[in-house]
Amino acid sequence: MSVEPTTGPTVGPTLETVGWVGSAGEGVVRLIDQTRLPSEFLQIDCPDVETVWEAITMLRVRGAPAIGVAAAFGAVLGARRRGLASIETVRDALRASTARLRTSRPTAVNLFWALDRMDRVGEAEAALADSPAALLDRLLLEAKTIEQEDRAMCRAIGRHGAELIGQGQGVLTHCNAGGLATSDYGTALAVIFSAAEQGKSVHVYADETRPLLQGARLTAWELQRRNIPVTVICDSMAAQVMKEGRVQAVVVGADRIAANGDSANKIGTYGVALAARAHEIPFYVAAPSSTFDLALPDGSLIPIEERDPREVTHGFGRQTVPDGVDVYNPAFDVTPARLISGIITEKGVIAPVSTEGIRAMLLG
Ligand code: MRU
């Protein structure tokens, strides 16, 4: 397994979070290694499905939509790994690769949504393609389409969500739901970027987001490079900051939204929603339709990833917990729909949040 580091651009608002470079037969998946931010901007090239699997598992690429896009491109790498001897060879390699990628992370449904799409195209095109190379080209086209659609959905989420943000407001967010978590522009941060582009002055409070600090490392980095004022706070400070009247809205992303609106997002989001309710501050979830899992009636069925305790005991290289002490490290929690003021999608804002409202917006 090899990963080639390449340095990339450090300025400019548009992020190339994850993309494909080269032809279907010889290209690679290029992604920003988010574990290195904010101290280093580094892009890595993944030449095979295993390096993409490792990148997702280790959070080099993370955030629900970005995981889906990375997996779709990873499936193309996997489809060619046994060579192009026959259409069946490519189709079978694709099946094995998507099965492998499905094991990378359990909570973000965008991963499974994107891989389902790749599998469907693989099965349908295997019957139609006139060569193995044509099948591979078709798979790459589908992955690129997923990436482009995600860009468009993020822009639309930004447009709808900006209407909910008032001039001069303080907005609190948790984790990173920005361009780094999507193809570009983000979901929760898209709302803030779009409000700022409309000329509204917004001050963002970014929870640092223990244990891996996606808020401090990534959200603050994204806001700073767009010149949007941001104050990083420890997660435990959110309620106090609300009580001081600094926050008029909360906007967060989601990893999986059940049919009734219960929303899984980075651990700590539920606590933020409770604090927002106690202070009568609107709490919004911003997510594309690819983040909804209508097969799950409610959030109790959403699988919650448990990660290595060392992320808690040895965060960023220093031991902070005595040896032998028990640690629990769920990566996500589920905010009940009743605490969510609205869900901002690319199709519009679902408010109030209900099973019927979600179905009407997504399927109507
Ligand atoms: O563990 P992570 O960093 O992948 O968790 C990411 C989040 O929880 C994001 O808020 C979520 O994926 C929304 S991204 C637009």
CB 30 within 8 A of CB 5: no
CB 143 within 8 A of CB 73: yes
CA of 89 to the centre of ligand 1 (A): 35
Convert the pLDDT of each residue in 257-293 to its tens digit.
999 999 999 999 999 999 999 999 999 999 999 999 9
What residues does 140 pair with on adjacent strands? none
Higher pLDDT, 9 or 304: 304
CA of 182 to the centre of ligand 1 (A): 9
Average pLDDT, the chain: 96
User: For 289-312, what is the mean pLDDT?
Assistant: 98
Assign residue 232 a region (left: φ > 0; alpha: ψ between -120 and 50; beta: otherwise).
Answer: beta
- Work out the percent of the chain whose per-residue pLDDT is above 90: 95
User: For 284-307, what is the mean pLDDT?
Assistant: 98
CA of 227 to the centre of ligand 1 (A): 22
28 exposure class (CB count in 10 Å sphere: 0-12, 13-18, 19+): buried
**C-alpha to C-alpha distances, 262 to 160, 270, 291, 362, nearest whole angstrom:** 20, 10, 12, 15
Q: Residue 194's pLDDT is what?
A: 98
CB 7: neighbour CB atoms within 10 A? 9
CB 199 within 8 A of CB 166: no
Nearest-angstrom CA–CA distance, 60 and 281 = 33
185 pLDDT above the threshold of 50? yes
Q: Which of 218, 266, 293, 334 is the pocket-test mutation for ligand 1 (most atoms within 8 Å of CB)?
A: 266
Nearest-angstrom CA–CA distance, 173 and 247 = 10
Fold of the CATH domain 158-363 = Rossmann fold (3.40.50)
CA of 84 to the centre of ligand 1 (A): 36
Active site residue 207: no
Q: Which atom of ligand 1 is nearest to the CA of 252?
A: 10
Angle at 256 between CA 105 and CA 264, to 5 degrees: 95
User: For 333-345, what is the mean pLDDT?
Assistant: 99
CA of 186 to the centre of ligand 1 (A): 10
Q: Residue 7's pLDDT is what?
A: 45
Q: Which atom of ligand 1 is nearest to the CA of 253?
A: 13
DSSP string, 5-45: EEE----SS----EEEES-TTT-EEEEE-TTSTTT--EEEE
Nearest-angstrom CA–CA distance, 176 and 109 = 17
Q: Which atom of ligand 1 is nearest to the CA of 187?
A: 15
Convert the pLDDT of each residue in 189-211 to its tens digit.
999 999 999 999 999 999 999 99
62 annotated among ligand-binding-site residues? yes
Q: Residue 6's pLDDT is what?
A: 47
| Phi and psi torsions of 363, nearest 5° | -110, -15
Nearest-angstrom CA–CA distance, 287 and 127 = 35
9 pLDDT above the threshold of 60? no
**C-alpha to C-alpha distances, 235 to 20, 173, 210, 220, 275, nearest whole angstrom:** 36, 10, 7, 14, 12
Q: Residue 12's pLDDT is what?
A: 55
What residues does 342 pair with on adjacent strands? 284
Q: Which residue intervals of the chain are DSSP H helices?
A: 49-57, 64-79, 87-101, 109-128, 132-162, 188-197, 214, 220-225, 238-243, 269-278, 310-313, 355-363
CB 315 within 8 A of CB 211: yes
8 pLDDT above the threshold of 50? no
DSSP string, 110-174: HHHHHHHHHHHHHHHHHHH-SSHHHHHHHHHHHHHHHHHHHHHHHHHHHHHHHTT--TT-EEEE-
265 annotated among ligand-binding-site residues? yes
Domain residue limits, the chain: 2-154, 158-363
What residues does 204 pair with on adjacent strands? 171, 230
Convert the pLDDT of each residue in 210-251 to its tens digit.
999 999 999 999 999 999 999 999 999 999 999 999 999 999
266 annotated among ligand-binding-site residues? yes
What residues does 4 pair with on adjacent strands? 45
Q: Residue 147's pLDDT is what?
A: 98
The band of 15, judged by pLDDT with boundaries at 50, 70 and 90, is confident
97 pLDDT above the threshold of 80? yes
CA of 331 to the centre of ligand 1 (A): 9
13 pLDDT above the threshold of 90? no
3 pLDDT above the threshold of 70? no
Q: Residue 330's pLDDT is what?
A: 98
- Give 330's DSSP letter: B
Which one of the listed residues 48, 150, 184, 255 is annotated catalytic?
255
Convert the pLDDT of each residue in 44-58 to its tens digit.
999 999 999 999 999
CATH superfamily of 2-154: translation initiation factor eif-2b, domain 1 (1.20.120.420)
Assign residue 94 a region (left: φ > 0; alpha: ψ between -120 and 50; beta: otherwise).
Answer: alpha
User: For 91-105, what is the mean pLDDT?
Assistant: 98
Ligand 1, residues at Cβ distance < 6 Å:
59, 62-65, 108, 175, 177, 181-182, 186-187, 214, 253-255, 265-266, 331
Going by alpha carbons, the residue nearest to atom 6 of ligand 1 is 63
Q: Which atom of ligand 1 is nearest to the CA of 175?
A: 10
14 pLDDT above the threshold of 80? no
Q: Which atom of ligand 1 is nearest to the CA of 67?
A: 4
Nearest-angstrom CA–CA distance, 322 and 215 = 26
11 pLDDT above the threshold of 50? no
Convert the pLDDT of each residue in 136-173 to its tens digit.
999 999 999 999 999 999 999 999 999 999 999 999 99
240 annotated among ligand-binding-site residues? no
161 annotated among ligand-binding-site residues? no
Give the burial string for 234-247 (b: 16+ CB within 10 Å, else e): ebeebbebbeeebb
